[in-house]
C-alpha cells in the first residue's frame, strides 16, 4: 500500500524561513542596501520575509513573472561576491564568486516554497474531489453502457485470487454455511438436467446443504435429494444429450397443472460429440434440438430461474482413447451455438434464460488438475456450486459480504430526513456565499484618482458562526454522499479480501521506512509527550489499516499483535484522561461534552446516513464508555487531584482505594455476563449497545480489553508521582534513569517484548489467546513504552510522518469502514477495476483527504455546538437531547415498518 507523505504545515505567522533573505542574496551590507535594487527586488524580499501566503501589493500573489525578471536583471548588474550562505549547493559552488550561484540558490529556495504553496493539504483535497467526480462519472457511464446487473458479472466473469479463491468481476461472493443455505432454500425445488458434468455440479451444490451426502449409486440415472427439516428438494435428471427426451422432460414443467422447479440448471454437449465422433451433422442436429427446446426454457424462465451451463474445456492430453474426439474446438462450436440460439429465442431485447458461463473460466485455470481430462477437480466444481448458491440466495438473505445479485437497499425514513437536511445545508451555504460575495464586491478597494493609490473602505470582518456552521454541514453533506455511493449505492465496485504474507508485510516495511525518513526533534522530552503519542497512534493506525485491507485476521500471529495495538489505544485513553483530570482538576461539563462530541460526532452521522447501529462502530462506544468510567471514578467525592495530594500523602492512598474499587467492579462485570447484559439491555442503552438483537457482541468487545484502561490510569499515576519527586531525568539526550538501571530495564523490556511475540505466535486458536490477552497485553505495551523512552536520544526525536496520521487516527479508523474498505469492512472498495495497485493508491489518497477534512469539520463544529458558557451549553444540551429523543422515536417507527 502506498501512503502519501504528509505535506509540511505552513510556517506560523511572522516566522522566518531557515534561510533568511540576506542569506539568499549574499551578505547585504549598508552600501548594498543603499545601492541595491531600490524598487525592483526589495518588495520581493519583503514578501518572502512575511511568508509565501501573503500577497504583496507591489509584486502580486506569490511573486509574478515581472518580479523574477527584475530580480535576475539586478543580480546580473551586481558586483560578483562570494556566497557562503548558499548551503544547499555543493562546496565547490559555495566558494565561487559569481552571481550565477546566488541565482541558483535563490531559485532553489523560491521554487521549493512555490511547490509548498501550491501543493498543500487544501490542494490535495481539491484533487481528491476532482478524482471522485471523474471516477463517479466513469462508473455511471460504464453502468449505463454495460448494465447494472451484478448477477451477469457473477455468472460470466471473474478471476482467481491465489489458487482456490474466486473473485467475480465488480462484486463480492459470500461463502454460504449449512444453516444459511437451508434457510435460503426452505420449501424450494431445484432441478439439475444434463450429463456427468451437471451431475458433478449437483453433488457439489447438495454438499453445501448436507456435507455428508455421498456420491454413490448408478451414475447414469436420476438422483434425488431431500432435506425434510428445511423442505429442500434437489433432483438430478440424467439427460446427457439435447434431444427429444430432454425436451419432453422440460415440456412437462410448462404445463399449468404440474409443479415447476424454482431453479432449473441444464446443459449437455460432450455426449453428442462423443457418440457421433465429432461430426458436423451432430452439431447441426444439436442446433436443431436446442432451437426446439429454447421456447420451452423461455416460458419456464418467466416463473422460475433457468440457467444454461456452457461446456467447460477439456485437457486433451489426459483424455482416454474413446474421448479423443472431444476437443476444445468442438466444445467452443457447441457453446457458440447454444449462446446464439438461446439469446435470440425471444423477441425481447434480452433473454430470460441466463448463461452460466463462469464455470468455463474456472475450468480454464484448473482443468490441468483433472484426473481424466474431462471432469473438473473437486475444488473447481465447489466454486461453481457456491456461485450458483450466491445467485439463488443473495437476494433472499442479503449477506453483507455478498454484494453480487443484491439490489440497492431502499432509503429508510431517517436516511431521507438526513438527505433533506444536508441538501438544505448546501443550498443555505450557497445562498450565504453568494450574498457574502456580492457584499464583498461592493466594498472592493477603490482607486483615488488624485493620488493614484488604492484606498480600502472596509475592514476584514471575522467569520460568523453561522457561516462556519453552514460551510461545515455543506462539506459534510458532500462527504456523506460519497460514503453512501461507496458502500450503499451500486455505483462503485467491491471485491473480496485475500490474504497473503506479502500483501501484509511489504506495506508494513514500506511505511516503516517512510516513518523513519521523516523524523524531527521533539518540542519536549517528557515520557509520552504529545508528539510521541501522536506518532504512536499514527503508526498503529496505519498497521491496523493494512491489517484490515489485507484480510490478515485469518493469520493468528498477526491477529494477536493487532489486538495489542487496539489495547494500546485504550491504554492511551486511560493514561491521557487520567493525567488531564489529575493535573488540571477540570471536572466541568464543558470538558466532558467536548470529548464526547469529538469522539461520537462522526459515528452518529454515519449511523444515520449508513443505517447502522451505534455498536457497529465498536471502538468508539468502547472509548466513550471508558472515558465516562474514568471521569466518574475521579469526579465522585472525594475529588482527589495532584494539587490536593501534594499537600497530604494521605490523598494518594485515597486515590489508590478508588482505583482498587474500579478494578473490583471490572472483575465483577467481566465474570458476570448476566449482570453486564442486564445493565446494557435497559432502554435507551439497549438502542446504543445492541447488535443483531442482543448485547453479547458489546460484552465480548468490552471484556477483551477490560484491564488495559485501568493499567493506563495506574501507569499515569505512578509516572506523575515519580516525575513530581524528580526521580526521572527527562532532559534532552539524558537516559530516563541512571545508566545501570536504564540498561537493566531496557534488557527486561526487550526480553518481555519478544517473549510476548513468541507466545502470540504459538497460540493454537483465537479463543485460547483471547482468554489470556486481557491480562498479558499490558506486558508488551509497557515494554514498548520503556524501550521508546528510556534512551534520551530516542525520546528526543519523533516521526512527523506517523504523527500526522496520528492526529486523524480516529477519523481514519471510522472512515475505513465504508470508503476504503467496502461492505462494512468485509471487502475492498474498487474505484479503478483491473489494476489493484493503482486502485489502492487512488482510494487511499481520497480516503486520507476525507478523514483529514472530517477531522477539521469536527473541530470547527465542536467550537460552535459546545460553547464555554455554561448557560448556553445547557441550552445546547437540551436541544441535543431532544434530537436524540426524536431519533429514537423515528428508529422505533422504522423498526416497526421493517417488521
> Among candidates 375, 320, 391, 347, which has minimal Cα distance to 156?
391
Q: Where are the alpha helices (DSSP H) in 610-707?
A: 619-635, 642-647, 650-670, 673-680, 685-689, 696-704
How far is it, in rounded angstroms, from Cα 542 to Cα 3? 9
How far is it, in rounded angstroms, from Cα 589 to Cα 671? 33
Q: For residues 687 and 612, is the Cβ–Cβ distance under 8 A? A: no
Has 375 been annotated as catalytic? yes
Active-site position among 340, 372, 672, 872:
372
Residue with cell string 521523516: 518
State the number of CA atoms in the 13 A half-sphere of 116 facing the CB. Answer: 16
Supply the angle between the helices 619-635 and 556-584 in degrees, to the nearest 10: 30
How far is it, in rounded angstroms, from Cα 806 to Cα 545? 13
Give me the phi and psi of 232, to 5 degrees please.
-100, 130
Judge residue 833's burial from the number of C-beta atoms within 10 Å of its C-beta, 0-12 exposed, 13-18 middle, 19 or more buried: middle
**What's the grid cell of residue 404?**
453480487
The three-class DSSP label of residue 5 is coil
How many residues are given for the chain? Answer: 899
Alpha-carbon separation of residue 509 from 387, 573, 581, 797, 843 (angstroms): 36, 28, 38, 20, 20
Give Dmax over CA atoms of the chain in angstroms. 111
How far is it, in rounded angstroms, from Cα 687 to Cα 691? 9
Judge residue 312's burial from the number of C-beta atoms within 10 Å of its C-beta, 0-12 exposed, 13-18 middle, 19 or more buried: buried
Q: Reply yes or no: is the peptide bond before residue 803 cis, omega within 30 of 0.
A: no
Q: Where are the alpha helices (DSSP H) in 305-450?
A: 328-343, 358-366, 378-397, 413-442
> Among candidates 644, 565, 596, which has minimal Cα distance to 884?
596
Tell me how many helices (H) and strands (E) the chain has.
36, 15
How far is it, in rounded angstroms, from Cα 541 to Cα 773? 20
How far is it, in rounded angstroms, from Cα 477 to Cα 260? 49
Residue with cell string 506523575: 720
How far is it, in rounded angstroms, from Cα 865 to Cα 390? 47
How far is it, in rounded angstroms, from Cα 359 to Cα 376? 10
Residue with cell string 538501571: 741
Active-site position among 142, 196, 292, 686:
196
Has 117 been annotated as catalytic? no
The three-class DSSP label of residue 694 is strand
Has 895 been annotated as catalytic? no
The three-class DSSP label of residue 798 is strand
How far is it, in rounded angstroms, from Cα 412 to Cα 406? 17
Range 425-432, long-range pairs (CB < 8 A, 24+ positions): 425/470, 425/473, 425/474, 425/476, 425/477, 426/473, 426/474, 426/477, 426/478, 428/470, 428/474, 429/467, 429/470, 429/471, 429/473, 429/474, 430/474, 432/466, 432/467, 432/470
**What's the grid cell of residue 653?**
492512598
Active-site position among 139, 169, 174, 375:
375
Q: For residues 794 and 736, is the Cβ–Cβ distance under 8 A? A: no
**What's the grid cell of residue 652?**
494518594
Q: Which segments of 444-557 are extended strands (E)?
A: 446-447, 454-455, 493-496, 519-521
- Residues carrying an active site annotation: 196, 372, 375
Amino acid at each position: 500500500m502506498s501512503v502519501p507523505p504528509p505535506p509540511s504545515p505552513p510556517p506560523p505567522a511572522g516566522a522566518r524561513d531557515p534561510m533568511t533573505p540576506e542569506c539568499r542574496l549574499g551578505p547585504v551590507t549598508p552600501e548594498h542596501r543603499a545601492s541595491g535594487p531600490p524598487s525592483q527586488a526589495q518588495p520581493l524580499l519583503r514578501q518572502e520575509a512575511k511568508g509565501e501566503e501573503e500577497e504583496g501589493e507591489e509584486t502580486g500573489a506569490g511573486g509574478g513573472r515581472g518580479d523574477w525578471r527584475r530580480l535576475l536583471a539586478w543580480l546580473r548588474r551586481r558586483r560578483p561576491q562570494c556566497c557562503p550562505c548558499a548551503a544547499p549547493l555543493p562546496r565547490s559552488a559555495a566558494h565561487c564568486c559569481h552571481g550565477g550561484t546566488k541565482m541558483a540558490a535563490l531559485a532553489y529556495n523560491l521554487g521549493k516554497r512555490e511547490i509548498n504553496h501550491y501543493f498543500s493539504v487544501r490542494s490535495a483535497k481539491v484533487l481528491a474531489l476532482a478524482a471522485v467526480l471523474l471516477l463517479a462519472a466513469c462508473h455511471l457511464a460504464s453502468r449505463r453502457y454495460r448494465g447494472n446487473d451484478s448477477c451477469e458479472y457473477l455468472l460470466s466473469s471473474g478471476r482467481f485470487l491465489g489458487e482456490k479463491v474466486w473473485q467475480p468481476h465488480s462484486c463480492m461472493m459470500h461463502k454460504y454455511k449449512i444453516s444459511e443455505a437451508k434457510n435460503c432454500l426452505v420449501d424450494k425445488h431445484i432441478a439439475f438436467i444434463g450429463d456427468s458434468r451437471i451431475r458433478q455440479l449437483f453433488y457439489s451444490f447438495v454438499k453445501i446443504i448436507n456435507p455428508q451426502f455421498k456420491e454413490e449409486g448408478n451414475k447414469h440415472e436420476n438422483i434425488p435429494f431431500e432435506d425434510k427439516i428445511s423442505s429442500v428438494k434437489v433432483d438430478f435428471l440424467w439427460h446427457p444429450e439435447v434431444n427429444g427426451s430432454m425436451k419432453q422432460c422440460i415440456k412437462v414443467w410448462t404445463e399449468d397443472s404440474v409443479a415447476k422447479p424454482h431453479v432449473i440448471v441444464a446443459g449437455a454437449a460432450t455426449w453428442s460429440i462423443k457418440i457421433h465422433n465429432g461430426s458436423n451433422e451432430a452439431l447441426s442436429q444439436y442446433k436443431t434440438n436446442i432451437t426446439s427446446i429454447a421456447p420451452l426454457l423461455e416460458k419456464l424462465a418467466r416463473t422460475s430461474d433457468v440457467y444454461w451451463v456452457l461446456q467447460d474445456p477439456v485437457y486433451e492430453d489426459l483424455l482416454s482413447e474413446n474421448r479423443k474426439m472431444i476437443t476444445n474446438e468442438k466444445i467452443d462450436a457447441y457453446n457458440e451455438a447454444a449462446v446464439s440460439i438461446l439469446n435470440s429465442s425471444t423477441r425481447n431485447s434480452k433473454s430470460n434464460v441466463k448463461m452460466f458461463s463462469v464455470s468455463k473460466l474456472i475450468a480454464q485455470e484448473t482443468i490441468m488438475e483433472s484426473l481424466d481430462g474431462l471432469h473438473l477437480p473437486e475444488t473447481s466444481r465447489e466454486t461453481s456450486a457456491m456461485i450458483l448458491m450466491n445467485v439463488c440466495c443473495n437476494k433472499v438473505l442479503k449477506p453483507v459480504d455478498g454484494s453480487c445479485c443484491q439490489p440497492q437497499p431502499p432509503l429508510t425514513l431517517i436516511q431521507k430526513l438526513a438527505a433533506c437536511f444536508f441538501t438544505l445545508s448546501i443550498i443555505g451555504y450557497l445562498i450565504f456565499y453568494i450574498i457574502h460575495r456580492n457584499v464583498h464586491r461592493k466594498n472592493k478597494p477603490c482607486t483615488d484618482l488624485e493620488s493614484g493609490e488604492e484606498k480600502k473602505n472596509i475592514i476584514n470582518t471575522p467569520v460568523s458562526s453561522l457561516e462556519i456552521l453552514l460551510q461545515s454541514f455543506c462539506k459534510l453533506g458532500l462527504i456523506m454522499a460519497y460514503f453512501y455511493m461507496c458502500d450503499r449505492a451500486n455505483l462503485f465496485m467491491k471485491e473480496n479480501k485475500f490474504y497473503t504474507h506479502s500483501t501484509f508485510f511489504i506495506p508494513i516495511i514500506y511505511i516503516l521506512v517512510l516513518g523513519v525518513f521523516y523524523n524531527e526533534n521533539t518540542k519536549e522530552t517528557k515520557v509520552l509527550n504529545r508528539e510521541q503519542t501522536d506518532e504512536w497512534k499514527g503508526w498503529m493506525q496505519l498497521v491496523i489499516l493494512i491489517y484490515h485491507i489485507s484480510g490478515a485476521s485469518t493469520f493468528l500471529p498477526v491477529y494477536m499483535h493487532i489486538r495489542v495495538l487496539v489495547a494500546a489505544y485504550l491504554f492511551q485513553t486511560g493514561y491521557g484522561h487520567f493525567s488531564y483530570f489529575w493535573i488540571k482538576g477540570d471536572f466541568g461539563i464543558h470538558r466532558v461534552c467536548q470529548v464526547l462530541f469529538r469522539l461520537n460526532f462522526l459515528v452518529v452521522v454515519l449511523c444515520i446516513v449508513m443505517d447502522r447501529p451505534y455498536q457497529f462502530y465498536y471502538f468508539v462506544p468502547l472509548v466513550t464508555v471508558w472515558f465516562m468510567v474514568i471521569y466518574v471514578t475521579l469526579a465522585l467525592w472525594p475529588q482527589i487531584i495532584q494539587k490536593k495530594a501534594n499537600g497530604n500523602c494521605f490523598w494518594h492512598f485515597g486515590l489508590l482505594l478508588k482505583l482498587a474499587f474500579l478494578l473490583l467492579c471490572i472483575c465483577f462485570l467481566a465474570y458476570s455476563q448476566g449482570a453486564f447484559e442486564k445493565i446494557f439491555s435497559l432502554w435507551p442503552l439497549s438502542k446504543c449497545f445492541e447488535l443483531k438483537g442482543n448485547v453479547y457482541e458489546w460484552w465480548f468487545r468490552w471484556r477483551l480489553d477490560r484491564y488495559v484502561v485501568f493499567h493506563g490510569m495506574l501507569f499515569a499515576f505512578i509516572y506523575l508521582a515519580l516525575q513530581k519527586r524528580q526521580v526521572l531525568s527527562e532532559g534532552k539526550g539524558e537516559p530516563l534513569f541512571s545508566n545501570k538501571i536504564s540498561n537493566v530495564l531496557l534488557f527486561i523490556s526487550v526480553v518481555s517484548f519478544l517473549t510476548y511475540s513468541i507466545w502470540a505466535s504459538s497460540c493454537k486458536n483465537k479463543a485460547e489467546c483471547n482468554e489470556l490477552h486481557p491480562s498479558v497485553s499490558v506486558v508488551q505495551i509497557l515494554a514498548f513504552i520503556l524501550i521508546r523512552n528510556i534512551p534520551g536520544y530516542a525520546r528526543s526525536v519523533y516521526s512527523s510522518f506517523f504523527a500526522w496520521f496520528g492526529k486523524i487516527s480516529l477519523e481514519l479508523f471510522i472512515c475505513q469502514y465504508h470508503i476504503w474498505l467496502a461492505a462494512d469492512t468485509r471487502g475492498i472498495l474498487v474505484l479503478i477495476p483491473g489494476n489493484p495497485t493503482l486502485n489502492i493508491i487512488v482510494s487511499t489518497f481520497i480516503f486520507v483527504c476525507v478523514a483529514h477534512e472530517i477531522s477539521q469539520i469536527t473541530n470547527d463544529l465542536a467550537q460552535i455546538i459546545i460553547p464555554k458558557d455554561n448557560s448556553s451549553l445547557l441550552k445546547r444540551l437540551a436541544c441535543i437531547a431532544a434530537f436524540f429523543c426524536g431519533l429514537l422515536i423515528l428508529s422505533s417507527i422504522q423498526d416497526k415498518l421493517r417488521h
